[in-house]
Structure 1
């Protein structure tokens, strides 16, 4: 009996040891089978494109790591390379400033600029997209109304500005006056004016710079349409005239006459293409600037069928005048004296023979 009890005790002890050993083996196997989470180096620029939002936040909080052990990088094909001194900038007052936002990748041989805004952009992309769309739509609606005001004033040849460029103040004249009127009826302008007055909005697109820019852009588009119509008509005539402006800068106007063909009618159009600053008023100087302008507009010189200028020697001269120089290139560019200028010369001659008329025009700067 004692032997059996001893045997049973030994067997029980052996079974317990075997179970414990088996459990220990199973635990080790389970530990071996458990997947090991891969550690991502958030400081490695090669992995920045694949970082999730939490990793980006951690990178922004801790900041990039600069490896000062890399003294020099390899040379590129242009003979340039990275060196550790680029991490520091010497200011004009000889103070050294660390460029903490600069990171060099030895593996890629590239220098990276670390921007907090750029890092957070990925995480807030959805929010930024929605917010940007609202801002874009808002400014689009504001600009459409401002352009409409500019077109109205330009069409009716009205002055834009006065002595003041602030809404609801005296002397701001027609442009801001129309904006104030629209503010009473239009919700978009009402909100825009309210933001300007209450928040002190600096970028409001109501100043003289945006007015001039819009006028210039509109003029460019109108000129493109005019040139398109002239090219469709093919043949055209040019009219030139010079006059000084208030600063005594000589300016030459260039106008074009052409035919507009429709289904059942033919219309003669006369379009103004712009002012040209003139420094040389000789026949050659005026011809050169006109030729250059026509080429820049894409108009062929061989398609000119007529010229109309005043009776000045530099314009109508049969040897060195503008009309002669055009005829040398295009013999079909027939020259005609300007009837308005001939009438003006007649009136001036009449006024000179009239004492009262002579006294009336005596104070004119250009007689």
Structure 2
């Protein structure tokens, strides 16, 4: 049963799909991707069906949100271990963006771009963290904490990419400037995805 639960989590993570559903009760027509996928596997495997049936012990079904999260975090840790091993002692660039989630809490997402042993440019998402504020100092501390968590040094940064907000690219007190003070080789590049977004918005407004 544990193998089936892990396979469900791996599939959903690989496809970038949500786990939970709006209504996960036994009477629901769609209980969410995780439970529906587990039911699908049970329909094709008698051993799994025995454990997931309505008469099975509730603490053996591995269907609770807590169990799903535990498997998810284990998969996440394993993936990050592989990414860090792939980065090794290479130089890297980081890409940072800030936004607020549905609960209006501010959060920071960070990605890494590096060249692997085959000479391929690789871009990987590393972490997302809630922050108490979006000041440049707070963001820098958050980045340093994430780097330290993965045994990465700020001195190995060779590029930094953000949007055009003043707290990010400010010439004297922005995040860019604070990191350049510690590492002058961490050259700043305006996020091209953000530039594209601004371009598309401008075109849409002028041709609406």
Q: Report the TM-score, using the length of structure 2 for normalisation.
A: 0.90
> 1:116-265 residue pairs with structure 2 within 5 A?
142-162=1-21, 163-166=23-26, 170-194=29-53, 197-198=54-55, 200-203=56-59, 204-232=61-89, 234-262=90-118
Q: Does the 8 Å CA contact 2:106/2:133 hold for their aligned counterparts?
A: no
User: 1:331 — aligned with what?
Assistant: 184
Q: Is the 8 A contact 1:237 1:307 kept in 2?
A: yes
State how far apart, in whole Å, the 1-side matches of 2:29 and 2:151 are: 46
Which residue number in structure 2 is paired with residue 318 of structure 1? 171
Q: Which runs of 4+ in 1 moved over 4 A?
A: none
Across the two proteins, how many residue pairs are aligned to each other?
A: 206
Could you say which residue in structure 1 is the equivalent of 2:139? Answer: 286
Deviation at 1:350, TM superposition (A): 4.2
Secondary structure of 1:261's aligned partner: coil
How far off its partner does 1:207 sit? Answer: 1.7
Alignment of 1:70-109 (within 5 A): none
Give the TM-score of the pair, scaled to structure 1. 0.53
Structure 1: runs of 5 or more not aligned: 1-141, 358-367
Contact 2:127 2:146 in 1 (8 A): no
Task: State which structure, 1 or 2, has the greater radius of gyration over its C-alpha atoms.
Answer: 1
CA distance in 1, matches of 2:199, 2:32: 41
* 1:190 to partner: Cα distance: 2.4
Higher relative CO (Cα under 8 Å, sequence separation at least 6) belongs to 2
Q: In structure 2, the residue corresponding to 1:319 is in which secondary structure?
A: coil
Q: Distance in 2 between matches of 1:211 and 1:222?
A: 16
Partner residue in 2 for 1:302: 155
Stretches of structure 2 lacking an aligned partner (at least 5 in a row): none
